[in-house]
Structure 1
Amino acid sequence: MHKTNFAALALLSAACLTGMSSAATPAQKGFITGTVVNEQGKPLPGVEIDVDNTLSYDSSLITYTDAKGQYRVDVRKLPFTFQVYAKMKLKYGDSTVNVELVPNNPDAVAGLAGGVRDFVFKPKPVTAEDPYGNLGRVFVERGIGEYDVDTAQVQVTLTPVGTLADGSAGKARTFKLLPSGGGPVIPNVMWGKYQVTATLNGKALQIRQRTDGRTPATWGAAYTGGFTRDYNALTPSMFLEVRVPRAGD
């Protein structure tokens, strides 16, 4: 297991993006082109590419990557600027999740001239303005009345149980919680089933699925479960709460 420092992760991710500035795909005048791969460099076919006209509402050009993970859009007669996005559909349980992929260059592309925008399926860098990333989110709050739990000092360990939504086995990881508008959160977690434990200053906490006041949930040393769309979540998320063990527990 390893502990994740999100400030360092954000800086590392930004450095990686800067290093990707020289596109792997050859430029073609009058065309927007690109290649979409995963973190291991494997091409991803069938990814939706949205070439969005920045000057006109609802006038996107939509295409999909081919078997080599490549796409090509003709803009030779379109004197506009375009913002390019890539979205991959990922199946998780009964849900289909649209995952925003990370571009090598987020800048708009000038029409007529064209340009290259390559994308990678990997965790999106998190910032104070956008602490959620592009994958699953694990929200962890202190239980009602648990005022002696400082979530800024809580560490949470996620251990995958079975195969994750991207087909990988994953590995156990330990995180500190980030502040967000939705409460303390761990961003960029691949969807799947996990065993979750938590500690406060090195001492074990009890944990359970967050209760809505109607459904009983049992406190325990660990919680095992997956992601749901509870609490009006836009993407499948995990909602947990922690407390200090009671005497006799």
Structure 2
Amino acid sequence: MKNTKFVALALLSVACLSGAASAATPAQKGFVTGTVVNEQGKPLPGVEIDVDNTLSYDSSLITYTDAQGRYKVDVRKLPFTFQVYAKMKLKYGDFTVNVELVPNNPDAVAGVAGGVRDFVFRPKPVTAEDPYGNLGRVFVERGIGEYDVDTAQVQVTLTPVGKLADGSAGKTRTFKLLPSGSGPVIPNVMWGTYKVTATLDGKPLQIRQRMDGRTPAAWGASYTGGFTRDYNALTPSMFLEVRLPKSGD
């Protein structure tokens, strides 16, 4: 059941990608080559490519994609194997976020022979071992003392307010929460401002921002806000908590 839930979310994360164009980079013996595109197949220039020697520490070959989203690294005289990574810098408010891009093939590339590794800027499929993806994370916990709120049954709806960090308008989506080592989470959310609502068994919950040792925010029927780096988060995340409505609310 647990694995089924993760597979379902992974499929949800990539469902919108079925129409994306896939790059077709020709292989060249002795070179690691590839093309980096977004979900619509548009080339992405200036993406950092890390061709990492799997045998020696801190001995990567770094290059960047050109105006056509292409890169080429010479490995003709390097009898090693290489793991290839692509990272794109995305601006969100005052933050610059390094987004890990998704390879068409995650296997290592043999030096001398070379190989092709194309990448796409899209949500990274989540697994039980890695439930966070490569984009923003929305963490939702029950309020203190709210023992009747089963977060496994909570549904959270995110409605974008204005443009998102990737320049898109986004769309309203409803999620169930996944378990993670950092608490119940919605992975792979593009950074931006959202109106957030939550329900339990179809009935509205109250929601607010979870504060890190500061004055608690007011409870409301919805929360509108963005992502922060509270709670020592490595990437900008949203931290919320929910509770059952109280009498008189």
- Structure 1: how far apart are the matches of 2:33 and 2:217? 51
* Structure 1 equivalent of residue 79 of structure 2: 79
Deviation at 1:216, TM superposition (A): 2.6
RMSD of aligned Cα (Å): 1.9
1:108 aligns with 2:117: no
- Corresponding residue number in structure 1 for 2:120: 120
- Conservation of the 8 A alpha-carbon contact between 1:23 and 1:104: no
Give, in whole Å, the separation in 2 of the partners of 1:26 and 1:143: 54
The letter for the 1-side match of 2:196 is V
Q: Distance in 2 between matches of 1:69 and 1:32?
A: 14
Distance in 2 between residues matched to 1:172 and 1:16, nearest whole Å: 13
1:231 partner SS: helix
The corresponding residue for 2:149 is 149
Q: d(CA) in 2 for partners of 1:65 and 1:180?
A: 34
The aligned length equals 242
Shift of 1:10: 2.3
1:94 aligns with 2:94: yes
Q: TM-score, normalized by length of structure 2?
A: 0.93
Q: Following superposition of structure 1 onto structure 2, how do residues 5-84 of structure 1 map, counting pairs within 5 Å?
A: 6-11=6-11, 24-84=24-84
Q: Please give the alpha-carbon distance, in whole angstroms, between the structure 1 residues aligned to 2:14 and 2:169.
A: 26
Looking at structure 1, the residues matched to 16 and 212 of structure 2 have their Cα atoms a distance apart, in angstroms, of 41
Instruction: Normalising by structure 1, report the TM-score.
Output: 0.93
Shift of 1:215: 1.7
CA change 1:79–1:96 in 2 (3 A) is same
- Kindly state the Cα deviation for residue 13 of structure 1 after the two structures are TM-superposed: 7.1
1:248 positional shift: 1.0
Contact 2:47 2:87 in 1 (8 A): yes
SS of 1:8's equivalent in the other structure is helix
- How far 1:160 moved relative to its partner? 0.3
User: Aligned in 2, Cα 1:78/1:133: closer, same or farther, shift over 3 Å?
Assistant: same
Contact 2:212 2:231 in 1 (8 A): no
Report the Cα distance in structure 2 between the residues aligned to 1:15 and 1:118, rounded to whole angstroms: 20
Amino acid at match of 1:68: Q
Structure 2 matches for 1:153-192, cutoff 5 A? 153-192=153-192
Partners of 1:233 and 1:57 lie apart in 2 by: 26
Identity %: 90
Distance 1:93 1:14 in 2: 26
Partner residue in 1 for 2:218? 218
Query: Could you tell me how far apart the structure 2 residues matched to 1:33 and 1:12 are?
Result: 30
Q: Tell me what 2:228 maps to.
A: 228
Deviations 1:190-228 (Å, cap 9, x if unpaired)?
000000000000000000000334323100000000000
Q: 2-side partners of 1:208 and 1:82: how far apart?
A: 46
